[in-house]
Amino acid sequence: MMPFAENALQNEHALVTGSTRGIGRETAVTLARMGADVTVTGRNKEKLEETKQLILDAQPQAHVFVWPADITDASARSELVKAAEGAHGPLSLLVNSAGVLKRKFVDELEETDLQEMMDVNYTSTVLLTQLVYKRMQEQKKGAIVNVSSLSGLRGTPGNSAYSASKFAITGFTQSLALEAIGHGIRVNAVCPGYVQTEMVEQLMQTKAEETGRSLEEQMQVSADSLPSRRMTQPEEVANTIAYLLTDAASNIVGEAVKISGGSVVH
């Protein structure tokens, strides 16, 4: 379902990180269908080209620019922003969707696990946002959505490193939102629970091995644990992100929007 007008984001230029799969890919497609020029980025060029084709299948007239980048690298971040603006002009929308997840209990964690999750999920997000935010300040407008998680609102067993990185993103979102709104720039986050993506399937496989269930059984058990009794679909998260980027959400500032099938209500 496409709940937005095809020109809702006309004359906007969106950069979407983590566009190779899942929420990032679905968001890139949705924004293009709403009329935005879209720059897609991630580490895998082949998967980015697949995303581009999905965009063109959905919106043949779309302007989509592919730029592979490892956003944990400072020079790669700078080159990404420069290339994107060279292709489609100033960036006015940013979706930080790149992320990694490892399920490990505290007594299993190694320093490299902590470093990878913080580097990808938090540090590189902040530093890329800094580059784009400076350009948005020059335009005195913009909107940013960070993909956090329910794990950025509450902890769960086996999730300490990932949860810490997502709590960091939620806090960053709130702080930047208060700094940015005076410049006409809105910043919000989405906090999905279980979403039917490759990343969550990998998590379910790990849980299945811990419990002795099959992957299919574990997926069903996890879905049944939700009040809605189903996992969220990537397009549902993408639609929420898209709404937060539109003028319809012009007074939504610094929020962390839960998309959880009712699993966390407070």
Residue 122 is among the residues annotated as catalytic for this protein: no
One-character DSSP codes across the chain = ---S-TTTTTT-EEEESSTTSHHHHHHHHHHHHTT-EEEE--S-HHHHHHHHHHHHHH-TT--EEE----TTSHHHHHHHHHHHHHHH-S--EEEE-------B-GGG--HHHHHHHHIIIIIHHHHHHHHHHHHHHHHT-EEEEEE--GGGTS--TTBHHHHHHHHHHHHHHHHHHHHHGGGTEEEEEEEE-SBSSHHHHHHHHHHHHHHT--HHHHHHHHHHTSTTSSPBPHHHHHHHHHHHHSGGGTT--S-EEEESTTSS--
Contacts of 259 (CB under 8 A, 6+ apart): 190, 191, 192, 193, 195, 232, 236, 237, 240
Q: How far is CA 256 from the centre of its chain?
A: 12
Q: Which of 133, 162, 194, 243 is catalytic?
A: 162
Residues tagged active-site: 162
